[in-house]
Structures are given as C-alpha cells and as structure tokens.
Amino acid sequence: MHVVGEPSFRESVDLMFNRATALMDMGPGLKQKIQVCNSTYTVRFGVRLRGKIETFTGYRSVHSEHMEPVKGGIRYALSVNQDEVEALAALMTYKCALVETPFGGSKGGLCIDPRAWEPHELEAITRRFAYELIKRDLIHPAQNVPAPDMGTGEREMAWIVDQYRRMNTSDINASACVTGKPPHAGGIQGRVEATGRGVQYALQEFFRHEEDKAAAKLSGGLDGKKIIVQGLGNVGYHAAKFLSEEDGAKITAVIEYNGAIIDDTGIDIEDLKQWILKTGSIKDYPKGSYVADGAPVLEKECDILIPAAMEGVINLGNAARIQANLIIEAANGPVTFGADEILRRKGVVIIPDMYANAGGVTVSYFEWVKNLSHIRFGRMQRRAEEARHVLLVNELEKLSADKGLGWTMSPNFKEKYLRGAGELELVRSGLDDTMRTAYQAMREVWHGRGDVEDLRVAAYIVSISRVAATYQSKGL
C-alpha cells in the first residue's frame, strides 16, 4: 500500500533509522555502512506450467553481513518488489540485533499470487526458485537461512530443505538451511505460533510497567482490553487467539482484505478462523456484524490496535483519525514514517515492528540451533528433571505423614510440578525471556536518556549500537 506523497517503504525505514542515528555518536562512514543494503539478487526463471512457460521474478536481498548466516523470510505476493524486499531485509538486521539472534539481515520475495496455483505447481515454482538461490549460496546453513513470511509457510520450507538436500547430499547440516519447517522435516515445536506468541509476550511485558501503560493512557492488565486486529493470517490469528483466550482481552473487530467483522462483546477468534478456513472468507460470518469496507474499522475506538497484515496500512491518509492509544506492529512496517510522526504528536504509543514481531526469528534461531546440534531440546534432561521433582514431592509427603501433619498437594500442582520441560515449554520459555530482555533494553533507552521520545527510536538505538559494535570489533 503506497499513498501518493509518502516515501517508499525503504525510504520510510531509512528515515526512521536517521531519526535514531541523529541521537547517536557515530561517524557518518559507519552510519552509511550500516544503513545500506549490501546486495540484492534478482532472478527471473521459467517454469513449464499448464502447457506453457511461465516466467517469475524473485529477489533475495542481503542487508547486512556483520553476522552470518543472514536471516529473513521469503514472501510470496504479487506486490513484491525490490524496494520492499530491501526494506524488509534492513528490518531483519535491526530485529535480529534487538533480540540477540546471531544473524545478519536478509529477505526474499517472489512476485506471485500463491492462490492462483495448485499445490503441485507451487512446489515446482518453489523448487526452481530455491534451486536458483541455493546455486548462489543465497540459501545455505552457514550463510543465508530463509524462513516463512507472507504467503509462505511450513509446506514451502519443506520443499526448500528437500531441494537443498538434493543439491548437497553430503551436507550433515542441511536441515539448518531454512527454518519454519514442519516438525517431521526438522522443524521445532512452537514455530508456527511464534510470531503471534511473541506479540502476546510483548504486550504482557508492556503491561508490567505502570509508567509505560500511563504513556498509552491505559491502566490495569490485559483482561477486558478492547483490541482491533487487522489480518487474520498466521501472525494476527495467533496473537488474537492467545490474547483473548489466555489474557482475557476482547477482540472487538477483525479486519481482513475483503471486509471486517465487528462485535463489541468480543469475537471468538477460533470460531471465526474456522469459518474462514471453511468458506474462504470473513464474509457472511453469522456472528457480529460484517462491513464490506474494512479500512475505516482501523479508526474505531479501542485500547490496542494490532496491524498484522502488511506495510503502509497506517499512513498520511488515516493516521490522524486513529483512535487507539497503543499500537503494536505485528506486521513489518505497518505505520509509515509520516503516520508515525502524526501519531507521536497525538501521544499514541507504538510498540515497533522490529521488536513486536521478533518472536518468529527468535524461534527460528532455536530451530537452527536444534538442527546444528542434531538433538531436540530437553531430550537429555527432561526425565532427570522429573526424577528430582518426584524425589522432592515424595520427601514432602513422607514428612507430612511421619509428623502427622496431613498436608496434601493439590493434584493440579503435583502434576504440573512433576512434569519436566519438553521442547514446546523450552521454546516458550526462551521466547518469553527474549521478549522481556529486549523490551528492557528498549525501555532503558526510552526512559533513561532524556532525548528519546518513543520506543521505535529506542529500538533502533539499541540495534544500531549492537551492529556498530560488531563492525568496530571487526576493525571496520
């Protein structure tokens, strides 16, 4: 989405970067080195489909190689273009630095409408695109590790890893060439939900800080908060589901590309998602009220607005009418540079994309480590942990019996306490810790320096300082 008179997505990211570096003590040479996109590879390839040759255009952009491998998803959409892929690659650099995943930033994209092709056709297209990238080490466990993004998921990642294996039959680390794979193909539990889960953890952390809530004119917990979500894809669906089912928030509107459902009493996200899966659309959903024009719904009154669809949706055209006081950017780049300025003037708090949606790459990092270590997290220690817990519980019960104290543990406690952590628990714990730690780093800069107005600039300052430190220690 691009409103006339606004900078492009990549320019918008550059302008945000400049706002941060203006407050940093950094030479222009280093600033320039960090800001520029190192390279963008464009490939045009043909695939024989439905009796004729179809030509596709794809990109893989590498923004920064200060750490390798570089990391970032592959997007399938008709709107993919070089400017967008480069903006997204830059965001990956800052995102990885902010959440301390040891990667540089990259992104890929293929200009395609994935809904226009049958699965076997998509497989042929994906394998051919992957072949072109693998051939040039733009997919490689040590150099460049893609993941899902808009329009791609586990299925595409499984095709990519298989393609890599066919071309590198003796690479023992082949499964680490891509993340977001299905569990049976080397994936990790909790990766599909990771970005949405990260949005939930980010909001939980935000709500732990009175000062931050006050800045967004909010009080109390997430329970009962009115939330509007744009986009019920992987990220929006999981975020909305967890926030409503686990934190008691009320999803009062869901906006999709072809309309919105509004229900002030709270939407049952799982029910709505099932409806969409069954009928293909949000339209005709029997509960709540349907409006065909979703755009004005972004401007409705709510406590928290979650844009989880795509870039540029909050722009110069609608920013002044946004009523939410807290926006959490589950998508990459949903608020343009101009809109960001308007919203800041209005006192709206924005939890920026590079933090808010970093749950995906965080769990990708866990998956990559799992693949390189060739063992599932928790496999060695789980039963040992359980055995120690059993010892303690038995001892307590024995003491109680010996002394005639009559203590009994609630069965729920006992069952929960005894269970050793498996892969999913460990992934969630690692993700929660990552989101809390990164938030702390951001808020220290936000509140600690006196010259930082917002969380976005704070996030950029934290990330850019880390990238700069890596360059400096390399002697660059």
Under the binding rule (CB under 6 A), the answer on residue 371 touching ligand GLU is: no
Between residues 307 and 360, which has the closer beta carbon with respect to ligand GLU?
360
Strands of 121-258, DSSP E: 144-145, 226-230, 250-256
How many angstroms separate the Cα of 283 from the Cα of each of 115, 192, 291, 297, 306?
18, 26, 8, 15, 21
Separation between Cα atoms, residue 348 and residue 115, nearest integer Å: 36
Does residue 107 carry a catalytic annotation?
Answer: yes
Binding mask 173-202 for ligand GLU (x = CB under 6 A): ------x-----------------------
DSSP string, 15-82: HHHHHHHTTS---HHHHHHHHS--EEEEEEEEEEETTEEEEEEEEEEEEE-SSSSEE--EEEETT--H
Pairing of strands 104-111, 144-145: unpaired
Tell me the number of residues near ligand GLU by CB under 6 A: 11
Nearer Cβ to ligand GLU, position 90 or 361?
Answer: 361
Q: Which of 101, 14, 25 has its CA nearest to residue 63?
A: 14
The answer to whether 43 and 132 are in contact (CB under 8 A) is yes
* Residue 72 binding ligand GLU, by CB under 6 A: yes
Task: Confirm or reject binding of residue 352 to ligand GLU (CB under 6 A).
Answer: no
**In sequence order, which residues have a C-beta less than 8 Å from that of residue 175 and are 6 or more positions away?**
141, 161, 181, 185, 186, 371
Shortest reach from residue 406's CB to ligand GLU, in Å:
52
Regarding 317 and contact with ligand GLU (CB under 6 A), the answer is: no
User: Which span sits near ligand GLU by CB under 6 A: 264-272, 314-322, 359-367, 465-473?
Assistant: 359-367
Nearest distance, CB of residue 270 and ligand GLU, angstroms:
23
* Catalytic-labelled residue, pool 31, 71, 107, 250: 107
The one among 342, 361, 427, 464 contacting ligand GLU by CB under 6 A: 361
Q: Which two tokens stand for residue 259?
A: 């309309």
Q: Facing residues of 326 across strands? A: 304, 349
Spell 156-173 as b/e; 16+ CB within 10 A means b.
Answer: bbbbbbbbbeeeeeeeee
Site for ligand GLU in 14-33 (CB under 6 A): none
> In sequence order, which residues have a C-beta less than 8 Å from that of residue 82 and are 6 or more positions away?
40, 42, 59, 61
Least Å from the CB of residue 121 to ligand GLU: 23
C-beta of 152 vs 244, nearer to ligand GLU: 152
Shortest Å distance, C-beta 67 to ligand GLU:
13
Q: Which of 67, 360, 378, 459 binds ligand GLU (CB under 6 A)?
A: 360
Residue 451: CB atoms within 10 Å: 8
Q: Which of 332, 336, 371, 434 binds ligand GLU (CB under 6 A)?
A: 332
Q: Which residue number, 132 or 149, has a Cβ lying nearer to ligand GLU?
A: 149
Per CB under 6 A, which region of 8-16, 60-68, 71-79, 288-296 contacts ligand GLU?
71-79
Cβ closer to ligand GLU: 222 or 330? 330
Residue 64 binds ligand GLU (CB under 6 A): no
Least Cβ distance, residue 28 to ligand GLU (angstroms): 29
Question: Residue 149 or 212: which CB sits closer to ligand GLU?
Answer: 149
> In the complex, which residue's CB is closest to ligand GLU?
73
Question: Which residue(s) pair with 18 in the sheet?
Answer: none
Minimum distance from residue 333 beta carbon to ligand GLU (Å): 10
Q: Which two tokens stand for residue 52?
A: 């004729």
Residue 94 identity (one-letter amino acid): Y
Binding-site ranges for ligand GLU (CB under 6 A): 71-73, 147, 149, 179, 332, 357, 360-361, 364
